[in-house]
Structure 1
Amino acid sequence: MLINQTYSLPPSLLNCFALRLNQARWPLTHGANSKKPSSQGSHFSPPPGPPPTTQLPPPKFPASPPLLLPYFQQYHHHPRSVLVSRVASVSTLLQCPVCRSKWKDVPFQAPKNVPSFQRSGSLHSYVPNASPVHIEPDHFSDDELVPDVSQGQPSSSRPHAITVKTLPGYPAVSASESFSKFGVLVRVLAPPLDNTLHHHRAPIDIVNVLDVSGSMAGKLILLKRAVNFIIQNLGPSDRLSIVTFSSSARRILPLRTMSGSGREDAISVVNSLSATGGTNIVAGLRKGVRVLEERRQHNSIASIILLSDGCDTQSHNTHNRLEYLKLLPTSIFPSNNASGEESRQPTFPIHTFGFGLDHDSAAMHAISDESGGTFSFIESIDILQDAFARCIGGLTSIVARDVQLKVRSASPGVQILSTPSGRHKNKIFDQGHQATIDIGDLYAEEEKNFLVLLSIPVFPTVDGEEMLENMPLVDVSGFQKDSVSTDTVEVEGERVEIRRPQFLSSTDRVPCLEVDRQRNRLLVTETIAKTQRMAEMGDLKGAQALLAEQLSTLLSTASAQAGDYLCNRLEAELKETRKRMETRELYERSGRAYVLSGMSSHSWQRAATRGPSMPISSGGNSDTRTTTSYETPSMTTMVTKSQNLNLAPRE
Structure 2
Amino acid sequence: MGSKWRKAKVALGCIQLPRTLDEDLSSSSAAILTTRYDAGRLSDGAALSSTVLSPTDCRPSSVTPTPSSSGLRLSRTSSKSSKKTCAICLNTVTPGQGHAIFTAECSHTFHFNCITSNVKHGNRICPVCRANWREIPFQGQNSEVVRGKLRANSVNWNRDRPFVQVPHPQPDYNQNISPTYRVHEPAMFDDDDLIEELDTFQEQSDSDVSEDNSIKKIEIRTCPEVSSIAKSASYDNFTVLIHLKAPVAKLSNHGHNSPSLSQISRAPVDLVTVLDVSGSMAGTKLALLKRAMGFVIQHLGPHDRLSVIVFSASARRLFPLRRMTDTGRHQALQAINALSSNGGTNIAEGLKKGAKVMLERTYKNPVSSIILLSDGQDTYTVNGPAGVQSRTDYNSLLPNSIQQNSGTSFRIPVHTFGFGADHDSFSMHSISEGSGGTFSFIEAEGVIQDAFAQCMGGLLSVVVQELKLELECVHPHLRFGSIKAGSYQTRLYDDARMGLVNVGDLYAEEERDFLVMMNVPRAQASVDEMPLLKVSCTYKDPITKEMATSGGVEVLKINRPEKIENVEVSVEVDKQRNRLKAADAMSEARSAAEHGDLSRAVSILETCRETLSKSVSAQDPLCVALINELKEMQDRMSSRQVYEASGRAYVLSGLSSHSWQRATARGDTTSSTNLSQAYQTSFMADMISRSQTMVLGSSSPSPPVRPPRSFSGRPSPR
> Do the structures match in fold with TM over 0.5?
yes
Distance 1:519 1:277 in 2: 47
Given the alignment of the two structures, is residue 585 of structure 1 paired with residue 644 of structure 2, yes or no? no
Residue 354 of structure 1 and its aligned partner are, at CA, apart by: 0.4
Partner of 1:125: none
Which residue of the partner structure matches residue 392 of structure 2?
Answer: 323
Indicate the residue corresponding to 1:56 in structure 2. Answer: 96
Q: In the alignment, which of 551, 557, 568 is matched to residue 615 of structure 2?
A: 557
TM-score, length of structure 1 as denominator length:
0.79
Amino acid at match of 1:460: Q
Q: Which SS does the other structure have where 1:303 is aligned?
A: strand
Q: Please tell me whether Structure 1 or Structure 2 has the larger radius of gyration of its CA atoms.
A: 1
Give CA-to-partner distance per residue, 1:387-425, whole Å, 9 cap, x none.
000000000000011111111111122211111100110
Judged with a 3 Å threshold, the aligned counterparts in structure 2 of structure 1 residues 287 and 627 are, in CA distance, closer, same or farther, namely closer
Residue in structure 1 matching 2:134, options 89, 98, 101 = 89
What is the aligned partner in structure 1 of residue 376 from structure 2? 310
Structure 1 residues 8 and 228: alpha-carbon distance in aligned structure 2, compared to 1, 3 A threshold: closer
Q: Confirm or deny that 1:480 pairs with 2:529.
A: no
Q: Which residue of 2 aligns with 1:634?
A: 683
Relative distance call for 1:103 and 1:145 in structure 2 (3 A) is: farther
How many residue pairs get aligned? The number is 554
CA distance in 1, matches of 2:489, 2:628: 29
Any conservation in 1 of the 2:662–2:676 contact (CA below 8 Å)?
no
Deviation at 1:58, TM superposition (A): 7.7
Q: Aligned partner of 1:498: which letter? A: I
Match of 1:128 in 2: none
Give yes or no for the alignment of 1:518 onto 2:558: no
Report SS of the residue matched to 1:195.
coil
CA shift at 1:299, angstroms?
A: 1.9
Equivalent residues of 2:173, 2:315 under 8 A apart: no
- 2:555 matched to 1:495? yes
Specify the SS of the correspondent of 1:479: strand
Q: How far, CA to CA, are the matches of 1:476 and 1:108 in structure 2?
A: 53
Change (3 A) 1:468 1:381: same
Q: Which residue of 2 aligns with 1:569?
A: 625
* Residue 270 of structure 2 is aligned to residue 205 of structure 1: yes
CA distance in 1, matches of 2:176, 2:668: 36
TM superposition shift of 1:148: 2.0
Q: Is 2:153 the counterpart of 1:153? A: no
- Which of 467, 477, 492 is the equivalent residue of 1:428? 492
Q: Which amino acid aligns with 1:499?
A: N
Corresponding residue SS for 2:611: helix
1:180 aligns with 2:180: no
- 1:162-211 Cα offsets, whole Å, 9 max, x none, are 11011111110111111111111110001111321855421110000000
Contact 1:611 1:626 in 2 (8 A): no
Partner secondary structure for residue 526 of structure 1: helix
Q: Distance in 2 between matches of 1:524 and 1:110?
A: 46
CA distance in 1, matches of 2:175, 2:629: 50
Indicate yes or no: 2:440 matched with 1:376.
Answer: yes
| Cα separation, partners in 2 of 1:322 and 1:107, compared to 1, 3 Å | closer
Q: Give the alignment partner of residue 217 of structure 1, picking from 272, 282, 287.
A: 282
* Cα distance in 1 between the residues matched to 2:568 and 2:407: 46
Gaps of 5+ in 1: 10-42, 44-53, 60-70, 95-101, 115-130, 336-340, 462-466, 618-623
1:169·1:182 contact (CA, 8 Å) conserved in 2? yes
Is 73-82 or 468-477 further displaced after alignment?
73-82
SS of 2:203's partner is: coil
Task: Measure, in 1, the Cα distance between the counterparts of 2:173 and 2:643.
Answer: 43
Q: Does the Cα contact within 8 Å between 2:464 and 2:505 map onto a contact in 1? A: yes
**For the Cα contact (< 8 Å) 1:7–1:110, is it kept in 2?**
no
- What residue number does 2:595 align with? 537
Q: 3-state DSSP class of the match of 2:553?
A: strand
Contact 2:626 2:675 in 1 (8 A): no
Q: Which residue of 2 aligns with 1:402?
A: 466
Secondary structure of the residue that 1:614 maps to in structure 2? Answer: coil
Distance 1:352 1:110 in 2: 25
Q: Which residue of 2 aligns with 1:143?
A: 192
Which consecutive residues of structure 2, in runs of 5 or more, have no partner in the other structure?
Answer: 1-6, 17-82, 84-93, 100-104, 140-163, 210-214, 255-262, 701-718
CA contact (8 A) 2:355 2:399 kept: no
- Residue 359 in structure 1 maps to residue 418 in structure 2: no
Change (3 A) 1:596 1:473: same
- 1:111 touches 1:133 (CA, 8 Å); kept in 2? no
Q: What SS does the aligned partner of 1:141 have?
A: coil
Q: Distance in 2 between the 1:226 and 1:323 partners? A: 29
What secondary structure does 2:678 align onto?
Answer: coil
Is the 1:331–1:345 contact (alpha carbons within 8 Å) kept by the matching residues of 2? Answer: no
**2-structure distance, mates of 1:73, 1:240:** 40
Distance 1:435 1:650, change over 3 A: same
Quote the Cα distance in structure 2 between the aligned partners of 1:500 and 1:179.
12
Please give the alpha-carbon distance, in whole angstroms, between the structure 2 residues aligned to 1:325 and 1:109.
24
Q: In structure 2, do the counterparts of structure 1 residues 588 and 260 end up closer, same or farther at CA, with 3 Å as the change threshold?
A: same
1:340-386 alpha-carbon deviations (Å, 9 max, x no partner): x9454723100000010000000000000000000000001100000
Q: Could you tell me how far 1:322 is from its partner in structure 2?
A: 2.8
Does the aligned pair in 1 maintain the 2:402–2:412 contact within 8 Å?
no
Alignment correspondent of 2:523:
459
Q: Are 1:390 and 2:439 counterparts? A: no
Tell me the CA shift for residue 327 of structure 1. Answer: 4.8
Structure 2 CA distance for partners of 1:355 and 1:178, relative to 1, 3 Å:
same
The Cα of 1:584 is off from its aligned counterpart by 1.3
Name the SS for the 1:589 alignment partner. Answer: helix
Task: Kindly indicate whether the alpha-carbon contact (under 8 Å) linking 1:391 and 1:635 is maintained by their aligned counterparts in 2.
Answer: yes
Q: Residues of 1 paired with 2:175 and 2:633: CA distance? A: 48
**Amino acid across the alignment from 1:56:** G
SS in 2 for 1:613: coil
**Shift in alpha-carbon separation, 1:518–1:112, aligned structure 2, 3 A:** closer
1:76 is displaced (CA, Å) by 5.7
Distance 1:7 1:294 in 2: 24
> Alpha-carbon deviation of 1:73?
10
The superposition leaves residues 431-455 of structure 1 with CA deviations (integer Å, 9 ceiling, x where unpaired) of 1211111110000000111111111
**SS of 2:677 mapped into structure 1:** coil
Partner of 2:565: 505
- Match of residue 358, structure 2, among 265, 269, 292: 292
Residues 169, 183 of structure 1: 8 Å contact kept: yes
Greater shift, 490-499 or 516-525, is seen at: 490-499
User: Which residue identity does 1:605 align to in structure 2?
Assistant: Q
Q: Which amino acid aligns with 1:156?
A: S
Please give the alpha-carbon distance, in whole angstroms, between the structure 2 residues aligned to 1:584 and 1:254: 43
C-alpha distance 286-103 of structure 1, shift in aligned 2 (>3 A): farther
Corresponding position of 1:621: none
8 A contact 1:110–1:133 mirrored in 2: no
Instruction: Determine the C-alpha separation between the residues in 2 that align with 1:183 and 1:290.
Output: 44
Q: Alpha-carbon deviation of 1:627?
A: 6.0
Q: Does structure 2 retain, via aligned residues, the 8 Å contact 1:528–1:547?
A: yes
Identical aligned residues as a percent: 39
1:260 Cα deviation from its structure 2 partner: 1.4
Letter aligned with residue 545 of structure 1? S
Task: Assess, with a 3 A threshold, how the Cα gap between structure 1 residues 531 and 172 changes in structure 2: closer, same or farther.
Answer: same
Out of 268, 273, 280, the residue aligned to residue 334 of structure 2 is 268
Give CA-to-partner distance per residue, 1:566-625, whole Å, 9 cap, x none: 00110111101111111111111110000000000000000000111232x6xxxxxx45
Deviations 1:495-546 (A, max 9, x none): 111111111132xx01111111101101111111111111111111111111
- Give the alignment's TM-score, normalised by structure 2: 0.72
Q: Quick check: 1:245 aligned with 2:311?
A: yes
Could you tell me how far apart the structure 2 residues matched to 1:426 and 1:299 are?
28
Cα 1:486–1:413, aligned 2, differ >3 Å: closer, same or farther?
Answer: same
